[in-house]
Structure 1
Amino acid sequence: MATENNVLLTDTADGVVTLTLNRPDQFNALSEALLAALQDSLAAIAQDDSVRCVVLAANGRAFCAGHDLKQMRANPDQRYYEQLFAQCGRVMQSIVNLPVPVIAKVHGMATAAGCQLVASCDLAIAADTAKFAVSGINVGLFCSTPAVALTRNVSAKKAFEMLMTGQFISADDAAAQGLINHAVPLDQLDAQVDALVQTICAKSPVAVRTGKGMFQRQRVMSLGDAYDYAGQVMAQNMMAEDVAEGIDAFTQKRHPVWKGR
């Protein structure tokens, strides 16, 4: 089932929701309207237990060119900017906090908040022709909010180099640095993303949702707290019917039939 609100297209099939940025003439810049549409869609997905995975894609030549600079210049007010960046931050955190994996499907350029969007996703596959940058510094604006997501993906020195120079890195470099998972030929991008989606959807919904939440939460904990938390989560996970089914299927040498509970 496909729906649209002009700036964001939504397609749902077999538990997979594809959100497609749809401002191709503006290189999918994150306008207020697009951020609001993303937030609304993510909020709805978070409440839908039938969703197994989300793919974030884009139309046009670019994946996302970051914030809409023309819209920003038309509103020269600090309070406006604070609200805009807070709105963007909520979208990024909604991706991280979503109970199912989000895969960025990056076919073209991702800059500034567009790079932040890729970094906020759980997984990312890009065409080997795609390029990435946090280029605000080139117009006198340090990419402070993109830096939050970037530094949680790549090393501190690489992130600082990108932020200070504003230079593009290739998809191969982005994969080597951990910003994306894989760089593949453009004509293989759809197939690679589909294969990853199907791999995730073949797993127990309980394990996937448990794992997404656990992985993100433990990242900000101390080592001891992380192990305490992980032990509690794993013990609770062991009580799920899917775990009993999975272990029985393994010992009986058959494919499991997941019940999602």
Structure 2
Amino acid sequence: MSVATELVDGRIAVITVDYAPVNALPVAGWFAIAEAVTGAARDGARVVVLRAGGRGFNAGVDIKEMQQTEGFAALVGANRGCYAAFKAVYECPVPVIAAVHGFCVGGGIGLVANSDIVLASDDAYLAVPEIDRGALGVGTHLARLVPHHLVRALYYTGRRITAAELAQHGSVFEVVPRGELDSAALTVAREIAAKDPRVIRAAKESLNGIDPIDVNRSYRFEQGFTFELNLAGVSDDHRDEFVATGKNLQV
């Protein structure tokens, strides 16, 4: 289980997240992503490609870790870790390209939506099953991918939306066969990396500066409701059922 960085062409940082079996990340995993993304830009990468190994891009937080930890330490850790990872991707001084395959649910949407460019394989889909887990979150990020009323429909129902459908909304740049995803992401990364890095960094800061919503503050607001549900005992009921039925293996 790891978050590993490979430097391609001397200027493209390819970060691979690999936590078998489904990339449901423990607390440490979220912080590792934050450090990898921040470190890549600090070390001079011109572009970051964020990808994953295994069956799917991301299955959210590791609910088993949360239920096996006494008190609220894992809950607080997961919330802080997700916040740190999403923030690192959004505030990375260079463009971040998300290469998404298979499933991307829950917290994975925060990583994808805060990226600058999204490429996906033709088997990719996104979903926000938080309500079924007694939690809330990433509404901020889902709203960066689809229009307002579709956000609410997907959020309340937990239904999936495919990469092809997201491409119709303009949030996925390109959908390719799964075997071509990595090369497609590198093609876009190389196109950006070939440009003046001073201008690209200025462009990233400029585009973040004109965003209509402060994504960090908005997501933190959402997290407050998750804490309320946990304090009320609602979340534990749903997470216990989730662990007991092994739903995390059916992503």
Fold shared, TM-score > 0.5 on shorter chain: yes
- List aligned pairs for 1:62-81, cutoff 5 A: 62-75=56-69, 77-78=71-72, 80-81=74-75
Which residue of 1 is the match for residue 17 of structure 2? Answer: 21
Equivalent pair of 1:7/1:33 in contact (CA under 8 Å):
no
Q: 1:190 to 1:44 in 2, by over 3 A?
A: closer
Partner of residue 44, structure 1: 39
Change in CA separation of 1:164 and 1:141 when aligned onto 2, cut-off 3 Å: same
Question: Higher Cα Rg: structure 1 or 2?
Answer: 1
Equivalent residue letter for 2:39 = A
Structure 1 residue 201 corresponds to structure 2 residue 186? no
Superposed, 1:126-145 pairs within 5 Å as: 126-142=120-136, 144=137
Higher relative contact order (CA 8 A, sep 6+): 2
Q: 2:2 aligns with which of 1, 7, 19?
A: 7
CA distance in 2 between counterparts of 1:137 and 1:94 reads 26
Structure 2 match to 1:117: 111
State yes or no: 1:34 paired with 2:26.
no
Match of residue 174 from structure 2: 182
Moved over 6 A (4+): none
So what's the TM-score if we normalise by structure 1?
0.76
Q: Which residue of 1 aligns with 2:230?
A: none
SS in 1 for 2:199: helix
Q: Summarize deviations over 1:183-209 as a string: whole Å, max 9, x none.
A: 112232223212101110121111111
Q: CA RMSD in A?
A: 1.7
CA shift for structure 1 position 76: 5.6
TM-score with structure 2 setting the length: 0.79
Distance (Å, rounded) in 1 between the aligned partners of 2:5 and 2:74: 28
**Partner Cα distance (2:156, 2:71) in 1:** 25
- The reply to whether residue 89 of structure 1 matches residue 83 of structure 2 is yes
**CA distance in 1 between partners of 2:169 and 2:153 (Å):** 12
Change (3 A) 1:166 1:76: farther
Work out whether residues 30 and 78 of structure 2, in 8 Å CA contact, stay in contact via their aligned partners in 1. Answer: no
1:82 Cα deviation after fit:
3.2
Residue deviations 1:145-179 (CA, integer Å, cap 9, x gap): x1121113321111111111101111111212344
2:159 is aligned with 1:164: no
Amino acid at match of 1:47: R
Say which is worse superposed, 50-59 or 83-92, in terms of deviation: 83-92
Partners of 2:181 and 2:77 lie apart in 1 by 35
Counterpart CA distance in 2 for 1:93 and 1:190 is 24
Percent of residue pairs identical:
30
Matched residues in 1 for 2:63 and 2:86: separation? 19
Counterpart secondary structure, 1:162: helix
Which residue in 2 is equivalent to 1:58? 52
SS of the aligned residue for 1:141 comes to coil
Distance in 2, matches of 1:75 and 1:147, equals 26
Q: Which runs of 5+ in 2 are unaligned?
A: 214-251
Return the letter of the residue paired with 2:48.
V
Name the SS for the 1:12 alignment partner: strand
Q: Give the aligned residue type for 1:64.
A: N
